[in-house]
Amino acid sequence: MLLTEKALEEKRMEIERLNDRLKEIYKEKRLSQSAGNTFHDNFGFEQAEIQERGILKQIRDLKHEIETATIVEEKDNDSNSVKVGNHVTLKVDYGNEDVDIVQGELVALPKDPKLELSQITLNSPIGKAIFMKKVGDEVRCVLPNGNKVKILISKIEN
């Protein structure tokens, strides 16, 4: 996984937030147990268990991403090659006479859980394909739906 230092720090902060939530869940479980019901008859306890498992998985996944991350630099004044934070204009050729012009900012992590249309994530197929490429470079990639596209980098802006 490619991450900037800032994105890496955001993932670490997310682990801290999840650990705080985990502490709350442990309290909820203790309160549910003190109600005197058995585990099988205690809906609150079962729900806390489900939440706990989900959060523990999220923490494991985030730790794995951090451990395997490759740190990349964000944009600088040199806009010769595509870096995180640059705004790019791309010509995407689908090979069937359909060509789209795509404009967006290359981001390490989506700034909003609902990925904005004007964002291209670094770890997406297109993001990986255009990272560190220059204006005029043509790259190919396979989209998640299996379509193969040809991408021409038309413009890079800070």
pLDDT digits (tens, 9 = 90+) for 119-134: 899 999 999 999 999 9
The two tokens of residue 98 are: 């359909």
Contacts of 97 (CB under 8 A, 6+ apart): none
pLDDT digits (tens, 9 = 90+) for 80-91: 899 998 999 999
CATH number, domain 2-71, options 1.10.10, 1.10.287, 1.10.3470, 3.30.310? 1.10.287
Sign of CA dihedral 154, 97, 94, 100: positive
Mean pLDDT across the stretch 70-81? 78
Does position 36 have pLDDT exceeding 80, yes or no? no
pLDDT (0 to 100) of residue 116:
59
The domain ranges of the chain are 2-71, 87-157
Asked, colleague to colleague, whether 2-71 and 87-157 share their fold, the answer is no
CA distance linking residue 79 with residue 76, whole number of Å: 7
CA distance linking residue 84 with residue 62, whole number of Å: 20
From the number of C-beta atoms within 10 Å of its C-beta (0-12, 13-18, 19+), residue 88 rates as buried
- The pTM score is 0.71
| DSSP H stretches of helix in 35-113 | 43-67
Helices (H) and strands (E) in the chain, counts: 3, 7
Is 45:33 a contact under the CB 8 Å cutoff?
yes
Is 78:157 a contact under the CB 8 Å cutoff?
no
| CATH number belonging to domain 87-157 | 3.10.50
